[in-house]
Amino acid sequence: MATRLCRARELHTPQQREDCKRRSRGRVSFLERRMYENYLLDPEAIAEVLNHAAPSGCTHITASEVEEWLRSHGQAEKFLESNARDYAFPEEAWYTEVHGARALATLFEKFSEGCIAYQKVQHGMKLTRWLLAATASIMLRCRMFSSKTIIAAVLRRLWKSQALL
């Protein structure tokens, strides 16, 4: 049985990625985006997860507020390296190069007024589940797709590459 491995590209130079792919005979691939969190930067999902994560339930932010914050702050030095500062949310190049984990941590801190720290595993899973459910729900409403097609589309939405398919 062939095993495939998909890795985040953030810690690997382009040359290291190519060497790894070659040595593994194609069994190792890399995400197109810098890290997994870059696929979770969906304003609607972030607002939903943050609103449900507040201990008192009093946090209420909208997807529009998250989107506006990303537009205003997404090019900050802490999120983009100097060679990528020309990229802006919501350009695909921004999604590819941004430090998604830092952006999510900062968003959670800012919108919860310091009450909720972004926890990579816990909140990452909730964001992923929200995105999967939202994509599947849209496709099911169309009633034109098989479950196999829906699963493939959900994975493409999250990874936008054939790396895991």
To 10 degrees, the CA torsion angle through 131, 136, 138, 142?
A: 170
Quote the tokens at residue 148: 């196999």
Q: What pLDDT does residue 1 have?
A: 46
pTM of the predicted protein model: 0.75
What phi and psi, each to the nearest 5 degrees, are found at residue 147?
A: -65, -35
Q: For residue 31, name the pLDDT band (cuts at 50, 70, 90).
A: confident
Residue 116's CB: how many other CB atoms inside 10 A? 18
Stretch among 13-17, 18-22, 43-47, 55-59 having the lowest mean pLDDT: 55-59
How many angstroms separate the first and last alpha carbons of the chain?
A: 15
Q: What pLDDT does residue 53 have?
A: 87
Q: What are the angstrom distances between the C-alpha of 19 and each of 12, 22, 25, 96, 137?
A: 10, 5, 10, 21, 40
- pLDDT at residue 13 greater than cutoff 70: yes
Tokens 């802490």 belong to: 78
> What is d(CA 6, CA 47) in angstroms, rounded to the nearest whole number?
28
Quote the tokens at residue 19: 């060497």
Q: What pLDDT does residue 161 have?
A: 38
**Amino acid symbol at 154:** V
Per-residue pLDDT tens for 115-156? 889 999 999 999 998 988 887 666 555 554 555 555 666 666
